[in-house]
Amino acid sequence: MTIAQRLYLLIFSAFLALAGLAGFGIFQMNKVYTATNYANVDTIPSITSMSIASDNIAQL
């Protein structure tokens, strides 16, 4: 294997490593987004409905 081939292999392996790292980062960001979006989807509507119920009881 010549020096040029070794350098090309090194560049190619570095490119693959960076692509893999970018893919892993995107996967982790999606995982964090899903976990934090739980508060918007499930928790906030519950708080809102409890507030509405509390207002209705206060009106009674």
Read off the pLDDT of each residue in 36-57 and give the average, rounded to a whole number. Answer: 78
Higher pLDDT, 4 or 57: 4
Higher pLDDT, 22 or 41: 22
- pLDDT tens sequence across 2-34: 999 999 999 999 999 999 999 999 999 999 998
Residue 40: pLDDT band (50, 70, 90) is confident
Q: Count CB atoms within 10 A of the CB of residue 54.
A: 10
Domain ranges of the chain: 22-60
CA distance 59 to 53: 10
